[in-house]
Amino acid sequence: MTSEPSTVDTPLRKLVGERTAKALAGHLDLHTAGDLVYHFPRRYDERGEHTDIRSLDVGEQVTVLAQVQRTAVRPMRQRRGNLLEVTVGDGSGGVLTCTFFGNQAWRERELRPGRWGLFAGKVTEFRGKRQLNGPEYVLLGEGGDGEAAASEEVEEFAGALIPVYPAAAAVPTWVIARCVRVVLDTFTPPDDPLPVAVRSSRNLVGIGSALREIHRPSSKEALYRARRRLKWDEAFAVQLTLVQRKVRAASWPAKPRPPKAGGLLDAFDARLPYELTTGQRDVGVEIAADLATPHPMHRLLQGEVGSGKTMVALRAMLQVVDAGGQAALLAPTEVLAAQHHRGMLELLGPLAQAGELGAADDATRVELVTGSLGAAARRRALAEVAEGRAGIVLGTHALLYEGVDFADLGLVVVDEQHRFGVEQRDALRSKADQPPHVLVMTATPIPRTVAMTVYGDLETSTLSQLPQGRSPIASHVVPAAEKPAFLDRAWRRLREEVAAGHQAYVVCPRIGEGPQSDEEPPREDDNGRRPPLAVTEVAPLLAEGPLHGLRIGVLHGRLPADEKDAVMRSFAAGDLDVLVATTVVEVGVNVPNATVMIVLDADRFGVSQLHQLRGRVGRGTAPGLCLLVTEAAEGTSARERLDAVASTTDGFKLAELDLEQRREGDVLGATQSGRRSHLRLLSLLRDADLIRDARAEAQALIAEDPELERHPALAASVAVLVDEERAEYLEKG
């Protein structure tokens, strides 16, 4: 260990010793002084204030600040020796029992009533009591026997605010706190990368002060200022990256695709059997203006399930065809691509029959290009695309790569948020002389701060109205474990809908035996619950049991493409009563006669997924019904999530709920790779104003210095906070 000044690059082994450094590296991926000082406390406990033990969940790894209330020693029944039970409380009525096995009289003397300490372990439950079995602990305020209460560690908690770090069983929070203190004793902070003008105008403390105060706060006010500065750095780095990306994209050349009077789009509008909603018309005007510019459009179109986004996209595609270009729509699944193909042929009629008898003047062709096309059909389709006769081309992302050449690709529509990475963007550029216009669509409403952060380089349009004729969807939670009769009633309700001439979906989280699929959640969770229900296992049970006599089809991602298409066609044609499926039906599947959906193991799905799934029913004139079947107990977070989904069909409310319940890193993309990210403090939900301010400052700075050439320290800081993999993730706008 050294007492020489340390910097962000100093290896931890030089500061805290080989053994501790190895533990920090192996368990927490912390290697340098910079890694450690940016490993911020998760929260701060205050002696005398309670930790609210009652709110702890079974199975959770916790560190609690608590006071010893009483101890008891009793003989163990199953083996020799005694069991020490130490009851600790947080001052609010919540208690935990800490159990220690073996004859440990010294521990009984140490853990005497009245002592305060930090106790770390996994919460378990035994006979209705919350427990920590053999927890790690450190006692506060007095010396004691054993390393856990060594004076140098107790000193770390001498202040009023006690930092509690993200920790591991082998590296508890007090070990991290001790290491932080050692590092800070010799740490020389980096030069402040934030421009003085920004620091001054936004009243932000210096980086050195922020890094010290977040670990060893001198007061609550100092801690607030430190956290605000470090959050600002995170928000500013992301916004600078996105604003740079947006400015660069705006400078690219693109072929303008202005509207054409009397063309295909006008003919299509004239044959529509219904009126567009006001929202569809307004968004259509925005997109039409974007397409007419000499720079590529990058627009996000978000709207509720069933709000008519595909209609808006089709009209944009027709504008490009009118201007002599081609448009490609990329769907996430072959099932959806095939459905788009059928739907567009039906909507366009003679306008999509170029070269056929009865075709309209100026008609084009709509081609479906998928990996499952036969050789002859594929050659014919690719020729139509390459020679420009197919104005509209539909397929999955595969059509970007598999030898598909366009005569003049002018617009790419990406359905359902399948966003482009660097390789895909390069593939797109290779398909056109100039970058095409890009429209990204999502039916998962996006909270404002997520739109600013994850989609910050896209212009955003929102469709909030539903087209006329759409029916309401009622949703209910079916507690199968507590009330099995409710599940029986659900199956009877499905049969009633089929008897009335309607159809139904039954959705399962898993396909069945065989390798795990992307459309499946993990088969067992950390608490050892049974595997999620599987389509291939549930379908025969339903056919023999509660749905006996009904025509049942099965749909999932491992079926051959032609079989998937055949099943979907049969269901759409009314030849099947019930479709038992995975989330392959989550997106875009449109069967207006389907009125009921039963989601099994609904607690295994996310909020947005459930909202998407529910949107598959109620698409016709009859009302929709969605039943969320779960074994999750009342009062659990899983059950509360389902209750929330059942209580509203407002996608934006559900998106906020989803954001509250997901780790921020998942939303920001920090967990897209195995690499550790420095984005730690920023909350998209709570820091909306800060993110907005950071975006404004980023826009002003990039306008003056687009490549940050006059701010090299800031550019380097952004490169650390938004590393290469994160920048690639953000590039996927």
CA atoms within 13 A on the CB side of 48: 4
pLDDT digits (tens, 9 = 90+) for 671-708: 333 334 456 788 777 788 898 899 999 999 999 999 99
Last residue of a domain, one of 631, 648, 665: 648
Confidence grade of residue 659 (pLDDT, cut at 50, 70, 90)? low
Question: Are 46 and 162 spatial neighbours (Cβ–Cβ below 8 Å)?
Answer: yes
CA gap 460, 624 in Å, rounded: 30
pLDDT above 90: residue 49: no
Q: What angle do CA 410, 413, 414 make, to 5 degrees?
A: 140
Counted domains in the chain: 4
Residue 73's closest CA among 117, 104, 110?
Answer: 104
Of 82-91, 219-228, 420-429, 675-684, the poorest mean pLDDT is in 420-429
Q: Is residue 623 part of a domain?
A: yes
Q: Is residue 2 part of a domain?
A: no
Whether residue 431 sits in one domain with residue 297: yes
Surface-to-core class of residue 617, CB atoms within 10 Å of its CB (0-12 exposed, 13-18 middle, 19+ buried)? buried
Q: What domain range includes position 169?
A: 13-187
Q: Is residue 4 part of a domain?
A: no
What is the pairing mode between strands 594-599 and 624-630? parallel
Question: Are 595 and 625 spatial neighbours (Cβ–Cβ below 8 Å)?
Answer: yes
Whether residue 160 sits in one domain with residue 21: yes
pLDDT above 80: residue 350: yes
- pTM of the predicted model, to two decimals? 0.64
Question: Phi/psi at 346 (nearest 5 deg)?
Answer: -70, -45
Task: Give 258's DSSP letter.
Answer: -
Task: Give 6's DSSP letter.
Answer: B
Whether residue 633 sits in one domain with residue 487: yes
Q: Which of the pair, 726 or 561, is modelled with greater confidence?
A: 561
pLDDT above 90: residue 491: yes
CA gap 92, 685 in Å, rounded: 29
Whether residue 374 sits in one domain with residue 487: no
Please give the C-alpha separations between residue 243 and each of 196, 236, 694, in angstroms, as whole numbers: 20, 10, 11
Q: Which two tokens stand for residue 618?
A: 């109620």
DSSP state string for 564-588: HHHHHHHHHTT--SEEEE-GGGSSS
The predicted pLDDT at position 555 comes to 92
The predicted pLDDT at position 2 comes to 55
The predicted pLDDT at position 693 comes to 93
CA gap 489, 495 in Å, rounded: 10
pLDDT above 80: residue 595: yes
Quick one: how far is CA 414 from the chain centroid? 18
**Cβ partners under 8 Å of residue 106, min gap 6:** 145, 146
Q: Which of the pair, 649 or 10, is modelled with greater confidence?
A: 10
- Most confidently modeled of 356-365, 514-523, 591-600, 721-730? 591-600
pLDDT above 50: residue 591: yes
CA atoms within 13 A on the CB side of 351: 24
CA gap 501, 595 in Å, rounded: 10
Confidence grade of residue 257 (pLDDT, cut at 50, 70, 90)? very high
- Most confidently modeled of 288-297, 611-620, 648-657? 288-297
pLDDT above 90: residue 501: yes
pLDDT above 60: residue 527: no
Q: Is residue 197 part of a domain?
A: no
Mean pLDDT of all residues in 311-334: 93
Q: Which of the pair, 451 or 440, is modelled with greater confidence?
A: 440
pLDDT above 90: residue 180: yes
pLDDT above 60: residue 645: yes
Q: What angle do CA 96, 102, 105 make, to 5 degrees?
A: 80
Question: Phi/psi at 206 (nearest 5 deg)?
Answer: -70, 160
Q: Which of the pair, 378 or 283, is modelled with greater confidence?
A: 283
The predicted pLDDT at position 674 comes to 31
Confidence grade of residue 145 (pLDDT, cut at 50, 70, 90)? very low
Whether residue 451 sits in one domain with residue 543: no
- Most confidently modeled of 135-139, 351-355, 455-459, 485-489? 485-489
In the predicted model, what is the mean pLDDT of the chain? 83
Q: Which of the pair, 728 or 275, is modelled with greater confidence?
A: 275
Whether residue 433 sits in one domain with residue 300: yes
The predicted pLDDT at position 141 comes to 64
Residues constituting the chain: 733
Of 58-62, 169-173, 324-328, 668-672, the poorest mean pLDDT is in 668-672
Q: Is residue 486 part of a domain?
A: yes
Question: Are 441 and 414 spatial neighbours (Cβ–Cβ below 8 Å)?
Answer: yes
Q: What is the CATH number of the domain that holds 522?
A: 3.40.50.300
CA gap 234, 40 in Å, rounded: 13
Q: Which of the pair, 337 or 199, is modelled with greater confidence?
A: 199
Q: Is residue 549 part of a domain?
A: yes
Three-state DSSP at 146 gives: coil
Whether residue 394 sits in one domain with residue 515: no
Task: Find the helix packing angle between 18-28 and 173-186, rounded to 10°.
Answer: 120
Q: What angle do CA 103, 109, 114 make, to 5 degrees?
A: 135
Whether residue 153 sits in one domain with residue 27: yes
Q: Is residue 8 part of a domain?
A: no
Q: Which two tokens stand for residue 159?
A: 């202040």
Task: Find the helix packing angle between 334-348 and 561-572, rounded to 10°.
Answer: 50
Confidence grade of residue 3 (pLDDT, cut at 50, 70, 90)? low
Of 148-162, 555-569, 583-597, 693-707, the poorest mean pLDDT is in 148-162
Last residue of a domain, one of 432, 463, 494: 463
Q: Is residue 202 part of a domain?
A: no
Whether residue 75 sits in one domain with residue 145: yes
Quick one: how far is CA 195 from the chain centroid? 33
pLDDT digits (tens, 9 = 90+) for 400-419: 776 888 999 999 998 865 44
Whether residue 408 sits in one domain with residue 306: yes
- Most confidently modeled of 264-268, 330-334, 526-530? 264-268
Mean pLDDT of all residues in 164-168: 84
% of the chain at pLDDT higher than 70: 83
CA gap 218, 25 in Å, rounded: 29
Whether residue 597 sits in one domain with residue 456: no
CA gap 314, 391 in Å, rounded: 11
Q: Which amino acid is at 449?
A: T
Confidence grade of residue 143 (pLDDT, cut at 50, 70, 90)? very low
What is the pairing mode between strands 95-101 and 82-89? antiparallel
Last residue of a domain, one of 138, 157, 187: 187
The predicted pLDDT at position 658 comes to 73
Whether residue 557 sits in one domain with residue 617: yes
Mean pLDDT of all residues in 356-375: 85
Please give the C-alpha separations between residue 66 and each of 91, 110, 161, in angstroms, as whole numbers: 8, 15, 14
